[in-house]
Amino acid sequence: DFVTFMMDPIVNQAAKLRFMLGGKVSVPVVFRGPQGGGIRLAAQHSQSLEAWFAHVPGLTVLAPSTPYDAKGLLIAAIRDDNPVVFLEHKLLYLGGAAPVPEAPYEIEIGKADIKREGTDITIIATLAMVERALSAADTLAREGISAEVIDPRSLRPLDMDCFIRSVKKTSRCLVVHEAWRTGGLGGEIAAQITEEAFDWLDAPVERLGAAELPMPYNDRLEREVMPSAAAIAEAARRICHRDRGTEV
């Protein structure tokens, strides 16, 4: 969250230098930064500002949701000749332990990961919302709704080909992020899906984000502000029933 003090070096310098010098220099720098809520750090230290960076040409923006992805993407970022903003959700530090290979490996930048395959609805979720989307998919499966869960991993560039292939299969889409819905990256994803796959959609693409207010310190209020697995399941359920003209 202290990245707000660093916007000029990142946005005005690192992102633009290669363009301003006609491609004659590289800017191999990685800006690592924690973000997100869930551990009671209150309004100034629980923000999700990924859309700020994803808006800027010249920046690569990565957002892993698992330890495996974090290691592979960080190595890829370090080896890249362009400036990379590497976002690390705070919950991944505390509760995301999982085995990773000891040997170095790279995950290709710009490639999304289908965490769970499905046929009825595509749920595109970022960072801490991936785990909650998978939990929601378990709930939906018990109700006969098959949800495909996709983790973008890369927020700039976006793997729109992956998203669109999935939507052409499921005909429905929900985009979930912890950031505020207004001005969030979900709007860009929804717009591009609508532009490229409109004829395949049985219902409008919907977005789910945090409540439009600063993150509270109180634990109960913080949980209310952040999208929950139950809220994701409810939104997906509504989308799936909308084109059938039935109430959820």
State the span(s) of the chain assigned CATH 3.40.50.970. 2-95
CA distance 34 to 89: 5
CA distance 118 to 57: 33
pLDDT of residue 244: 57
CA distance 116 to 166: 11
Q: Which amino acid is at 139?
A: T
Give phi and psi for 72, each to the nearest 5.
Answer: -65, -40
Lowest mean pLDDT segment, chosen from 10-24, 70-84, 91-105, 112-126: 91-105
Average pLDDT, the chain: 93
Question: For residue 204, how many other CB atoms are within 10 A of its CB?
Answer: 14
Mean pLDDT over 29-39 rounds to 87
pLDDT(246) > 60:
no
Fold (topology level) of 113-242: Rossmann fold (3.40.50)
CATH 3.40.50.970 at 2-95, yes or no: yes
Query: Using the 8-state DSSP alphabet, how is residue 23 labeled?
Result: T
pLDDT of residue 92: 84
- The gap between the terminal CA atoms of the chain, to the nearest Å, is 38
pLDDT of residue 75: 99
State the span(s) of the chain assigned CATH 3.40.50.920. 113-242
Considering the entire predicted model, what is its pTM? 0.94
